[in-house]
Amino acid sequence: MLKPFTNDKSQTRIITATQSDNVKQAITRSMIQADAALNNAQFADAHKFYRYALQLAELHFGEHDSVVSNLKSLLKQLDELLRRGNKNAHSSS
């Protein structure tokens, strides 16, 4: 009978690393979709994708990570842009 070269601890590390890579890929994909939405002036969609990336980043990296703080800053600016857009839409009606 052949034994695999991994034990329970190394197999757990492999699974954890794979999960970590999957989370990082999901964050990256969401940010790419947000950037594409921004390029097409779809600010509400961009906000949605950046918000999702932020949630994943907070869970994965923690509150004090630079990725998290950069996404929070970006979302604040996008919130302000959306608020101004809504004010302009209501004032022109």
State pLDDT tens for residues 52-91: 999 999 999 999 999 999 999 999 999 998 998 877 655 5
| The overall pTM is greater than 0.85 | no
- Looking at the predicted structure, is the pLDDT value of residue 15 above 90? no
Mean pLDDT of all residues in 43-49: 94
Whole-number Å distance between alpha carbons of 37 and 1? 55
Buried b (16+ CB within 10 A) or exposed e, 1-27: eeeeeeeeeeeeeeeeeeeeeeeeeeb
Whole-number Å distance between alpha carbons of 47 and 53? 10
N- to C-terminal Cα separation, the chain: 77
